[in-house]
Amino acid sequence: MSHTIIIFGASGDLTSRKLLPALWELHRKRRLPEGVRIVGFSRTPFTHDQWRTKLAESTAECAGQALDGSLWRSFARAIFYQQGDIEQADDFTVLRRTLDELEAGAETTRVYYLSTAPRFYEPAIAQLGAAGLVEPSCERCRVVIEKPFGTDQVSARGLNDAVHRVFREPQVYRIDHYLGKETVSNVLVLRLANTIFEPVWNRNYIDHVQITAAEALTVGRRASYYDSAGILRDMFQNHLLQLLTLAAMEAPSRFEADAVRDEKVKVLRAIRPMRSQDVPGRTLRGQYQGYRNEPGVGPDSPTATFGVVRLSIDNWRWQGVPFYLRSGKAMSCRTTQIVIQFRQPPHMMFDQGPRDLHEANRLVLQIQPAEGIQLHFQTKVPDAGMQLRQTELDFNFRRRFAGEMPEAYQRLLLDVLQGDASLFARADEVELAWGIIDPIQRAWDSGLPELAQYESGVWGPATSSEWMQHEGRQWFDLCPVLH
Ligand code: BG6
């Protein structure tokens, strides 16, 4: 069995910064299945060798060290390039011939990877269909589609329809790179491979959940994309809702793509839809000072670079437990974390015990960059009467396990080659997620709530902590310590 990965948009950034370095790492660790070849397709003219040389340079740069020469040569022998234009049907006929020659009749799994600008997704899929590059000639064909998958529910539905005219749903792999992070998979392992967490993982013990994805970086040179997307489309519709579903879903009986995704879809369906009049009270939006001076951003741009959304999940497990989602650019530090804030003990018999929710038990799942888990709890200060203090059990992946945390794309690419779609978004999941975000985005587009400004390097606008205090709670604002 051989495998061919055809990358559309091969001369782009994603290919050189993520896809090839991930495939190289898999090759280096001898994890790639036998007989993998990579075919780049894009408009820039390259010979096979020119493309190989360009990839050798970008891959070494990403790896931060020179590549092992003979290992790279064995990898590079399986890299090919075909110049082509997604809008030219003839180029797909040539591609078909090229693939047939390379595969020489061997049974092959083909992975069509769309790493192009999103406006090319539909034309590329239609051309693949028209050129006979998918079924019935290729039963083992798969398509990988990068984010953003649409810009709202209607466009996502339209894109799904276009995809389904050519591919069957089990052949479709919609990327959300957060799902390839080890710590994100570990949310389910923590909850469901241990006995002690699940019994308290509900409204009886949990006061609220905070999911934060903060970035210290500004928008920089991505402004032309970002200014029309904004924080809701860029981070909430995909990454933050994925984290929420993993934290909130019921246990599937098996770790299989559809069993897992069925449970995630149930959570999305249970999220209370936001009416336009609810948006000003349940969300916040902000923009960092200086955003409007970024190249490509207009002087009056209303695009939010920071947002908070409070969601409610209407089911037995979560009724009355708010899920606070928060994300922003130009924040204090880079950290993605899920904070499970437990309730106060029902009765406190120690005079100096916690009186404030912030002092109650808290489980912090550090998704990145200090990947780990902390459990905060009260303890007796030795030799100080009955004085109590909050302390923590601290688990850190890098300290506990040798080696680097792998890049998300390694896991995701390997899963595509092996035909495991558990860590990819299904059609209904993506559409439901847009259905949650759309009403918020509509209200924001109409100017509500007010767009608050914030200085770079803080935890968003000042209104954010005031708003949380008004909720009777406090943000857990802590930059992780990197060991
Ligand atoms: C991407 C967003 O999907 O995720 C970016 O488009 C964001 O704006 C990035 O910076 C964050 O990913 P990570 O893996 O660095 O948390």
Contact at 8 Å (CB) between 190 and 365?
A: yes
For residue 189, how many other CB atoms are within 10 A of its CB? 12
Write the DSSP symbol of residue 242: H
- pLDDT in single tens digits along all 483 residues of the chain: 899 999 999 999 999 999 999 999 999 999 999 899 999 999 999 999 999 999 999 999 999 888 899 999 999 999 999 999 999 999 999 999 999 999 998 999 999 999 999 999 999 999 999 999 997 767 799 999 999 999 999 999 999 999 999 999 999 999 999 999 999 999 999 999 999 999 999 999 999 999 999 999 999 889 989 999 999 999 999 999 999 999 999 999 999 999 999 999 999 999 999 999 999 999 999 999 999 999 999 999 999 999 999 999 999 999 999 999 999 999 999 999 999 999 999 999 998 777 788 899 999 999 999 999 999 999 999 999 999 999 999 999 999 998 788 999 999 999 999 999 999 999 999 999 999 999 999 999 999 999 999 999 999 999 999 999 999 999 999 898 876
pLDDT value for 221: 86
| Residue 61 CA, ligand 1 centroid: distance in Å | 20
d(CA 150, CA 141): 23
**Cα–Cα distance for residue pair 304/329, rounded to 1 Å:** 9
Residue with CA at minimum distance from ligand 1 atom 5? 234
Under 8 Å between Cβ of 137 and 96: no
**Nearest C-alpha neighbor of 93 from the set 41, 37, 146, 44:** 41
Do 389 and 415 touch, CB atoms closer than 8 A?
no
Which of 17, 238, 239 is the pocket-test mutation for ligand 1 (most atoms within 8 Å of CB)?
A: 239
234 close to ligand 1 (CB < 6 Angstrom): yes
Distance (Å) from CA 392 to ligand 1 centroid: 29
- Residue whose Cα lies nearest atom 9 of ligand 1: it is 235
The pLDDT value recorded for residue 139 is: 74
User: Which amino acid is residue 479, in one-letter code?
Assistant: C
DSSP β-bridge partners for residue 143:
112, 172
- Are 40 and 82 in contact by the 8 Å Cβ rule? The answer is yes
- pLDDT value at residue 352: 79
428 lines ligand 1 (CB under 6 A): no
The CB of 407 under 6 Å from ligand 1? The reply is no
Known catalytic residue: 239? yes
pLDDT of residue 257: 95
Q: For the CA atoms of 200, 205, 207, 208, what is the dihedral angle to 10 degrees?
A: 10
Q: How far is the CA of 64 from the centre of ligand 1 (A)?
A: 21
- Alpha-carbon separation of residue 177 from 131, 242, 413 (angstroms): 30, 10, 10
State whether the beta carbon of 215 lies less than 6 angstroms from ligand 1.
yes
Q: What angle do CA 408, 411, 416 make, to 5 degrees?
A: 120
This prediction has a pTM of 0.97
Report how far residue 388's alpha carbon sits from residue 66's, in angstroms, rounded to the nearest whole number: 53
pLDDT at 397: 95
C-alpha of residue 227 to centroid of ligand 1, in Å = 15
Give the pLDDT of residue 138: 77
